[in-house]
Structure 1
Amino acid sequence: MPRTRTVERSRLVPHTIDGTTHLVLDRYKEDVPLPPRDWDRIVLGTVTGAAAVIGVASIVWSTASIGSLLALVVPLAVAAYAAALVFDLVWLSCMALEWLARYDQERAVLPRRAGYVALGIAMGAVGTHGWISGEFAIGCVAATVSGLAKVLWTVVLRHHAKPLDAFTQQWVDAERAKAGGRLAMVSVRRELTRAEQAVAAERAAISGTDSGELPETPDDESETPDDESEQPSATGPMTIADAVRTALSCGISDPEMVLRYVRQVADANVKEESVLRTLRMERKTA
């Protein structure tokens, strides 16, 4: 007899009272068959869990062994065991990167090779501890703990890996390159914007270096005498605080240049004390 489970369902049914009919909600229970057990998935999940437990045991064992080795030359035992923890964490981290690249075999090659190198160093350190302790054979056996954990994880990853065919892999690479290009352009546009703002602020500050005047246009030359120049408006589109913040964000920190920039874009008659006070406040809050 197939296994079943009870589920609650609902449906609309007509219900009539005094000749008036409405659709009402009728809730009822129904037994539905359960799908057969997916033993492949259960076994793979069990093996993955066992590999995780073995990985933790490998970290504990290697850390204890290598930490004892390093403690011979390091006065602080905590530092020795913290450094010993690195040996197994490196190759386990490479295994994690290999897992992330399970759909791209080319990207998985580098973390796989780096993991083997890190594993060899960790096993060598464990074996060295046994040799120094006078038990070289036991040290060699102890070193195989990390090796067995690595082998098991490699087999598990091979079962989880889903290699793509050549055409699909090329399509994925093209989409990844397109997304990466858009992401890179965000940083490039931000950099270009900062550079353009710095150039604009520098030009505005330099244009008022001699007399704080705005450059004349051809129309202004024909309408005003040569010895007169047009002064900037007393009020600009920016407040004094905004102008100071803009100058600082563009890399202008010299008080005199900041003052000229504020007079150029905010208030031509602003007092120097006001600008300096605002500049100090902005630097404190930065």
Structure 2
Amino acid sequence: MRTRTERRERLVPHTIDGETLMVVEEYTVEVPVPPKDWDHIVLTGALGVIAVVLAIVIVWSTASIGELLTRAISSSTIAYAAATGFSVGWVICMAFEWLNRYDPIRIRRPRTAGHVFLAADMAAVCVHGWVADSLKVGVIGALLSGGAKWLWTLALDHQAAPLNARTQQWVTIKRGEVGSRLALGAVRRQLTRAESRAAAEEAALRTAPGPRPDPEDEESDGPDATILPLPANAVTTKDAVRIAWDAGLREPDAIRRYVSQAQGRAAPPDTVNRYVRALKVGA
């Protein structure tokens, strides 16, 4: 059995002049070396080769389809940018296949979409070969894309260990429970935002100033600070002055005494005189 030497540290007691303290001591130990995991090494190497093949295929497809699209549009930048969508589409679908490798139901859609993107990519590469009078090269380029996809499918099948029926149901139930919690959290956040907006609108409506009522005893040309507010259902100063005027009173003092008697309080002389002058002008 192979071993390797490792340096480690430990605390040991050390006494000087009768005082003992714990100090660090280094020591060596021989530990066994585990055998190489050739399965992991081979898998890592295979995944590395697949990654390199995918990179080559993406570059080849982008170059072929981009050159084909430049025949239709003048901007080569736009053409090659659009060409990346063919290869990147099925590569992204492979990533979703990897994420859903333990769910045979959810993996179907990304796998189907990946095949559709792959078919479009291979068809575009073949069309480029046909347009460039080199159909054989186009077919070979299309087969490269198909081969890369097939290699990835083999690696995915190797990694996706099948689950028995009961374990698959357990995983599905737990995934549903966690998904429900995430969904309810998002819904609660939406409801909280909606409640906050509704509360803010209601508070704004409650605090909005209402229209200011015009005092009954003010002229149309504006408020008069000398006019005192009258209680509800009481005779206003203006009405009391008019009643006294219609009764034949013309002296301001007599009119003021009548208004004070009608309102039960002393009437402002300036207000009474102003209304009297208005009645005289109207007469």
TM-score, normalised on structure 1? 0.67
Partner of 2:100: 101
Query: In the TM superposition, what is the alpha-carbon distance from 1:22 to its structure 2 partner?
Result: 4.5
What runs of 5+ residues in structure 2 fail to find an aligned partner? 213-230, 234-283
Query: In the TM superposition, what is the alpha-carbon distance from 1:187 to its structure 2 partner?
Result: 2.9
| Paired AA for residue 83 in structure 1 | A
SS in 2 for 1:36: coil
1:117-163 per-residue CA deviation (whole Å, 9 max, x = no partner) reads 11111011111111112222222122111011111111111112133
Residues 163-182 of structure 1: pairs in structure 2 closer than 5 A? 163-182=162-181
1:204 and 1:100 map into 2 onto residues whose CA distance is 48
Partner of 1:5: 4
Q: Considering only CA atoms, is the larger Rg found in Structure 1 or Structure 2?
A: 2
2:104 and 2:57 map into 1 onto residues whose CA distance is 27
2:172 and 2:75 map into 1 onto residues whose CA distance is 49
1:54-113 per-residue CA deviation (whole Å, 9 max, x = no partner) reads 000000111111111111111111111111111110001000111111222221121111
Residues 237-256 of structure 1: pairs in structure 2 closer than 5 A? none
Residues 212-231 of structure 1: pairs in structure 2 closer than 5 A? 227=232
SS in 1 for 2:150: helix
Partner of 2:73: 74
2:135 and 2:8 map into 1 onto residues whose CA distance is 68
Report the CA distance shift for 1:209/1:177 in structure 2 as closer, same or farther (over 3 A).
farther
Task: Tell me if structure 2 keeps the 8 A contact 1:63–1:81.
Answer: yes
| Paired AA for residue 168 in structure 2 | Q
Task: Tell me if structure 2 keeps the 8 A contact 1:105–1:163.
Answer: no
Task: Tell me if structure 2 keeps the 8 A contact 1:102–1:163.
Answer: no
Query: In the TM superposition, what is the alpha-carbon distance from 1:186 to its structure 2 partner?
Result: 2.7
Report the CA distance shift for 1:110/1:17 in structure 2 as closer, same or farther (over 3 A).
same
2:11 and 2:92 map into 1 onto residues whose CA distance is 55
| Paired AA for residue 53 in structure 2 | I
1:202 and 1:24 map into 2 onto residues whose CA distance is 69
Counting aligned pairs with the same residue, the percent is 50
Aligned length: 216
1:18-42 per-residue CA deviation (whole Å, 9 max, x = no partner) reads 5555544321112212100000000
SS in 2 for 1:106: coil
Residues 69-148 of structure 1: pairs in structure 2 closer than 5 A? 69-148=68-147
RMSD: 2.6
SS in 1 for 2:53: helix
Task: Tell me if structure 2 keeps the 8 A contact 1:102–1:108.
Answer: yes
2:133 and 2:126 map into 1 onto residues whose CA distance is 11
Query: In the TM superposition, what is the alpha-carbon distance from 1:178 to its structure 2 partner?
Result: 2.2
Task: Tell me if structure 2 keeps the 8 A contact 1:104–1:163.
Answer: no
Partner of 1:25: 24
Report the CA distance shift for 1:60/1:20 in structure 2 as closer, same or farther (over 3 A).
same
Task: Tell me if structure 2 keeps the 8 A contact 1:4–1:31.
Answer: yes
Report the CA distance shift for 1:44/1:203 in structure 2 as closer, same or farther (over 3 A).
closer
SS in 2 for 1:31: strand
1:21 and 1:193 map into 2 onto residues whose CA distance is 63
What runs of 5+ residues in structure 1 fail to find an aligned partner? 213-225, 229-286
2:17 and 2:58 map into 1 onto residues whose CA distance is 77
